[in-house]
Each structure stands twice: as structure tokens, then as C-alpha cells.
Amino acid sequence: MKKIAAGLAVGLLVSGCATKEYVNEQVSGANKRTDAKATELSGRIDQSNQESAGRYASLDGRINQQQAAIDGVSRTAQDALDRANAAGKLAEGKLVYEMSISSQIAFKFESSNLTDAAKADLDAFATKLKTDNKNVFIEIQGHTDSSGSQMTNLKLGQARADAVHYYLATTGGLPLHRMNSISYGESAPVADNKTRDGRMENRRVTLVVLQ
């Protein structure tokens, strides 16, 4: 009987050890799977954070670019008001509206000759002013990108502003004494000159209508 009891004890001990090893293996496997899932989840979170950071950076860049455009428009409009008031050409001194024509549409490369598309826009602009029949003053501003020298850009901006000025007077029928043309050259960008799209936005003629 003692031998049988001892055998049973050994059997139970072995069985207990086997059960414990089995449990340990299951726990270890579960821990590994948990760790793997945690690692995978952590990777997804990191990737999501990186994507979110990229989107935020892109959005922040667009906001800064838009703000720069707003600041540029405000500056040139205020400059126009100051010049017109100094010349005694305005009664109220307020901005009515402004319109920009891209040089990509208005002029051929490095040229100040107006395209047909630009003439159509200017015809519509002149017709609106005559229909509104308000006592307004128009400042025609030539803007360029930063390619080339500052002096070259000033000259090109002025040539393009003068071309618009001349067309509005001779074809649009707007009085010369109610208009003025000026070049800002590259000094008032509304977009980043380091990109092709930004340079395209900066090459423009802006018509500022004041009352």
C-alpha cells in the first residue's frame, strides 16, 4: 500500500508539474500575444500621430500662406488710400473693392502686351464701374515674383500696370485723372516665391477701387 501511495503521490506531483508548465506556457503565450498587439497598436498610434502632425503642418502652412495674402492685400490697399488722400483725390477715403489679374492670363512671358483674355476682364471691369456710376479712384498696381533683379522687377511691374492703365483709358473709357499706376515689383508677395505656384500668384496686376 505504501508503494501504491508513493506512486500516486509521485503521479500527482508529476501531473501538478505538467499542469503548472501548461499554465505557464499558456500565460507566456498570452503575454507574447498581448505584447505583440500592444506593439502593433503602439505602431499604429505612432503612425497616426505622424500623419496627424503632417496634416496639421500642412494646414498651418496653408493658414500662414492665406494670412500672408491677406496681409499683402491690406498693405497695398492701405498704401493706395494713403497716396490718394495725400493727392486730395478722394472725398471719403475708403476701399470699395479690389481685383487681381494673374500675369499668366494677362501677359505673355516677360511681356507687357495685354492678352485677349485680359482685355475681356478689363472690359467687364470698366463696364461695371460705368454702370455703378460712382465717383471712384482706381490705383493699378503691378506686382512680380522675386525672379530677376529688383530693378528689373520694378520696371516690369510698372510696364504692366501702365498697359492696363492705358487700356482702361483708351478702350474702357475711364477718365485718366481718376486712375494711377504704380509698381511694387517683388516687394508685396501674396505667396511663397520658393514654389512655382507661389510665383504664379505673385505675378499679378491688382486694381484697387477707392471712394
Percentage, residues of the chain above pLDDT 90: 41
pLDDT for res 53: 57
Range scoring the smallest mean pLDDT among 41-45, 73-77, 102-106, 122-126: 41-45
Contact 204, 83 (CB under 8 A): no
Single pTM value for the model: 0.64
Residue 12: pLDDT band with limits 50, 70, 90: very low
Residue ranges of domains in the chain:
66-210
CATH says 66-210 is which class?
alpha beta
* Residue 35 CB neighbour total at 10 angstroms: 10
Phi, psi of 96 (to 5 degrees): -90, -55
Which one has a higher pLDDT value, 74 or 52? 74
**Cβ-count burial 120-143 (b if 16+ within 10 Å, e if not):** ebbeebbeebeeeeeebbbbbbbb
**Taking 90 as the threshold, does the pLDDT of residue 165 lie above it?**
yes
Contact 144, 204 (CB under 8 A): no
Pick the closest to residue 199 from 154, 146, 152 (CA basis).
Answer: 146
